[in-house]
Amino acid sequence: MTQLPNSTDRKMGLVIDLDTCVGCHACVISCKGWNTENYGAPLSDQDAYGGNPSGTFLNRVHSYEVQPADGHAQLIHFPKSCLHCEDAPCVTVCPTGASYKRVEDGIVLVNESDCIGCGLCAWSCPYGARELDVTEGVMKKCTLCVDRIYNENLPEVDRIPSCVRTCPAGARHFGDLGDPDSDVSKLVAERGGMDLMPEMGTKPVNKYLPPRPKDTIEEQIDILAPLLAPVAEEPKGFLGWLDKTLEKL
């Protein structure tokens, strides 16, 4: 309920690879489709075919340009959904207990039948992870597909969030970040996974893998240059080289 559990058995969450996300929005729409049909109220859309369409989405892909001191600007696609924080302020501010963090896996959920739609949880979330559904008047958020990941009606391989299952580039990983030996934890350790707004003290479970260094090829020219030593300066010399080399084949 509104109080956070002292600890959770597992810390299920997502690891999002900013080095690989191509910004295709597949996760956004897969999430919309699954969560419209499943957990709680459908994610509604207002003015769906009109001048100002606006719907509820639990996952959105931003994009940012980063201009390094030297070199080309970079474009980084940035998917964002609930980070299922360990110290989730959205849970403690909730006056009704509708928002809660599950003991068994740390998933932050909204019990829609208890939600009065006051919006305070969304106010308390630094990440914009919660959206009040206009039609239903309740707060919607990423459920980490709690109705998939344990679902015995799904084959085991499909018991992952729909955004992870659909991601064509494999930029989204799902697992227990509380277990240092899990694949996701190892990935975070290897690639320097980071928190968003660590200064907020929310201790997000979801981690982001930073983009690898970019545009380094020219810096390697000194190492690479010998590879390009000409076999001959003139075409004639080249044909001589050709003959010699063919002889060796």
- Nearest residue (CB) to other proteins, 179 versus 200: 200
- Nearest residue (CB) to other proteins, 22 versus 180: 22
Contact call for residue 183 and other proteins (CB under 8 A): no
Contacts (CB under 8 A) with other proteins, residues 120-139: 120, 122-128, 131-139
- Counting residues that bind other proteins (by CB under 8 A) gives 149
Please identify which residue in 119, 180, 183, 189 interacts with other proteins, judged by CB under 8 A: 119
* Residue 54 near residue 47, CB atoms below 8 Å: yes
- In angstroms, give the least distance from the CB of 140 to other proteins: 9
Contact call for residue 93 and other proteins (CB under 8 A): yes
Amino acid at 43: L
Contacts (CB under 8 A) with other proteins, residues 40-79: 41-42, 44-57, 60-69, 72-78
CB atoms within 10 A of CB 149: 18
CB atoms within 10 A of CB 40: 21
Contact call for residue 156 and other proteins (CB under 8 A): no
Please state whether 215 falls in left (phi above 0), alpha (psi between -120 and 50) or beta.
left
What dihedral angle (degrees, nearest 10) is formed by the CA atoms of 208, 212, 215, 220? 170
Cα distance between residue 204 and residue 192, in whole Å: 15
